[in-house]
Amino acid sequence: MNPKKITIQDIADCANVSKSTVSRVLNNTTPVNDKKREAVLKAVKDLDFEPNSLASGLAGGNSMIIGVQTQKIGSPFYDLVTRGVIHCLTDTRYSPILVDGVWDKEIELKGIDTLLRRQIDGLIIIGGDIEKEQLLHLAAKKPLLLVGREVEGLQDRCLYVDNFDIGYQATKFLIELGHRQIVHITGIKSHQDSVRRLNGYLHALEEAKIPYDADLVYEGAFDGPSGVKAIDTVISRGKKFTAVFAANDMSAFGARLALYRHGIDVPDEVSLIGIDDQTEAPYMTPPMTSVRQPAFQMGVAAGNAMLDLLMNKEFELPKPSVQISVRESTAKVEK
C-alpha cells in the first residue's frame, strides 16, 4: 500500500491555519506572525512533509530551474564554466538542468527545446553555434545569457574572452622568443573561437612581417587526434618549423605526442603552446605553456548575472582577461 500523500490542506488542518498561510510560510513570500509560522513548521515536521519544489514554484509562476546548454560535456573549458554556474546556484533556491550540444547545431536546438518544455525560468548557453536570429528569438521569450560567444544585438547578455587577442598573444609570445616558422593547429573551421584565434595568429605574423605559409596551418577539431594528425601532416609536407601554437590544450597534447614519436625534442627543437591551461598542462613532459582562461569564474559570473536578471536587477557582465602560464615547453630560438 502506498503511503498517503501529504497535502497543503493536511498541514493547514494540523496547524489550524489557512492554506494561504501555509503557502506563505513554505515559499517565504510574505511575513507570517511567529505563532502561526511555528505551528506550520511543526505540522510540516510532524507530518514528514516534503514539498514538491517544481509544483510550488509553478504555482507562483516560477519553476526555480535554470537551464544550462553546454557545447560539449567532457571539454575542459566548457566543463569548468558549467561547474562555475552550478557552484553559484548551490546556495540559492534555483536548480540547474544541463543539456549537451555535442558540437551539433540541431542537437543544441533540441536540447534547448527540452529545457523550455521544463518551464525553465532562465537559460544560460555556453558556447554553441545557434544562429543569431534564433538567439534573439530565445531572448525575447526567456531571460538569456551567453557564455563564450559574442552575438550582435545581445552584447549586454554575452560573457566572453577576446579570442582574437588570445591567438594574437600566443603567437606574439612565440615570435618574441625568436620563432618565425610557427605551426598553427586550428579548431573546428566553422567555430567562432577557432576563426578568431586563427585571425589573431595571422595578425601577429603580419605585424612581425613574417610571411604567411598556408602549409603551416592545419585544420584541427579541438581534440588530441587532430593534434597528432596536424604534426604528421606538416612533417609529411616537408615543412621546417620551430614552434607550434595549438587552438586548445587537447590538440596541443596530441601535438606533443606526435613530436615525441618523430623524435623531435620539446622545447630544444620545437616550442609548444596551447590554450585553456588545463589541470594536466603543468604535468606534461615537459610542463606545457598555455593561455589561461578564467573559465570557472566566468561560470560564477554568469550564474550571478542570471540571478540578477531574474530579479529584474541591473547587472554588468565582466570582461575576462587571459594570461600566459609560461612553463618549460617553450624556449628562445638558439642562434
pLDDT in tens, 266-287: 999 999 999 999 999 999 999 9
Q: What's 65-160+295-320's CATH class?
A: alpha beta
pLDDT in tens, 225-280: 999 999 999 999 999 999 999 999 999 999 999 999 999 999 999 999 999 999 99
What is the pTM (predicted TM-score) of this model?
A: 0.76
- Is residue 28 pLDDT above 80, yes or no? no
Which class for 297: exposed (0-12), middle (13-18), buried (19 or more C-beta within 10 A)?
middle
Q: Does the domain at residues 163-292 carry the CATH identifier 3.40.50.2300?
A: yes
* Mean pLDDT of the region 31-57: 76
DSSP letters for 277-310: --TTGGGSSSPPEEEE--HHHHHHHHHHHHHHHH
pLDDT in tens, 115-158: 988 889 999 999 888 889 999 999 998 999 999 988 999 999 99
The string over 282-296, giving b where at least 16 C-beta atoms fall within 10 Å of a residue's C-beta and e elsewhere, is eebebebbbbebbbb
For the chain, the structural domain boundaries read 8-51, 65-160+295-320, 163-292
Contacts of 285 (CB under 8 A, 6+ apart): none
- Position 157 scores a pLDDT of 94
- Position 1 scores a pLDDT of 35
Q: What is the CATH number of domain 8-51?
A: 1.10.260.40
- Position 85 scores a pLDDT of 96
Domains 65-160+295-320 and 163-292 alike in fold: yes
pLDDT in tens, 177-208: 999 999 999 999 888 899 999 999 999 999 99
> What percent of the chain stands above pLDDT 70?
93
